């Protein structure tokens, strides 16, 4: 576990593996995101680019804007559930960042981790892993991707990138972590 200014990050062992697979495959898709007018949007991380797509009434997708991954930023809106602000250079030319709502907080958090992984694939190796007893499920789309322990609620993708790319001191912080047990031993009654 790594202590951050916003909370503690601990991921299941499946999450880094999944991120590595997506980066190696070169593609990762986040669908069913809603904009402020309740229009459905899709974010596709593909080939070093981030594509923002609009979902048409017939279910087809049309790319609205695309930019290099390095120029894209995600900023969470505190206290706003699954809302986040997507900032892309092409969006800035079209009137500014876009406010989107993810289906779940887990989807939003996974989007942030995926963007950081596509921007700096070597950062995946520095992700802290939680013990299996403290993990919660993380959903991506309708498929359970794997468990996840308490997820940090970063305010920006740059904060997450800072944690992901900062292995110094991680081991010493991890060694100070405590394991808590909530089980009880009871003697059987006669």
* DSSP state string for 53-94: EEEPTTS-EEEEEEEEGGG-EEEE-TTSTTEEEEE-HHHHHT
Give me the pLDDT at residue 159, please: 52
Which residues form the domain of 58? Answer: 2-175
Number of domains in the chain: 1
Q: Give how far the C-alpha of residue 5 lies from the chain's centroid of Cα atoms, to the nearest Å.
A: 17
What does the mean pLDDT of the chain come to?
Answer: 73
Is 16 a domain residue? yes
Give me the pLDDT at residue 10, please: 74
Is 188 a domain residue? no
- pTM exceeds 0.85 for this model: no
Q: Which residues pair with 105 in a beta bridge?
A: none
Is 60 a domain residue? yes
What span, in angstroms and rounded, lies between the C-alpha atoms of 161 and 28? 18
pLDDT band at 47 (very low <50, low <70, confident <90, very high): confident
Is 130 a domain residue? yes
For 146-186, how does the pLDDT look when each residue is reduced to its tens digit (9 = 90+)?
Answer: 333 333 444 455 555 454 444 433 333 333 333 343 444 44
Is 186 a domain residue? no
Q: Take residue 180 and report the two structure tokens written for it.
A: 């808590």
For 102-116, how does the pLDDT look when each residue is reduced to its tens digit (9 = 90+)?
Answer: 998 889 989 999 999
Give the CATH number for residue 69: 2.30.29.140
């Amino acid at each position: 576990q790594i202590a951050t200014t916003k909370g503690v990050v601990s991921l299941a062992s499946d999450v880094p593996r999944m991120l590595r697979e997506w980066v190696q495959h070169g593609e990762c898709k986040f669908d069913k995101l809603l904009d402020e007018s309740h229009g459905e949007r899709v974010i596709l991380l593909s080939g070093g680019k981030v594509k923002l797509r609009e979902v048409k009434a017939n279910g087809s997708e049309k790319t609205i804007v695309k930019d290099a991954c390095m120029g894209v930023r995600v900023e969470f809106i505190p206290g706003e559930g699954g809302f986040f602000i997507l900032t892309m250079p092409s969006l800035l030319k079209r009137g500014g960042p876009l406010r989107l709502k993810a289906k779940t907080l887990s989807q939003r958090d996974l989007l942030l981790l995926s963007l950081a992984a596509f921007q700096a694939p070597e950062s995946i190796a520095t992700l802290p892993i939680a013990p299996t007893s403290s993990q919660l499920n993380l959903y991506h789309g309708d498929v359970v991707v794997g468990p996840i322990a308490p997820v940090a609620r970063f305010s920006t993708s740059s904060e997450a990138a800072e944690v992901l790319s900062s292995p110094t001191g991680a081991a010493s912080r991890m060694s100070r972590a405590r394991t808590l047990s909530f089980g009880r031993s009871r003697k059987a009654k006669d």
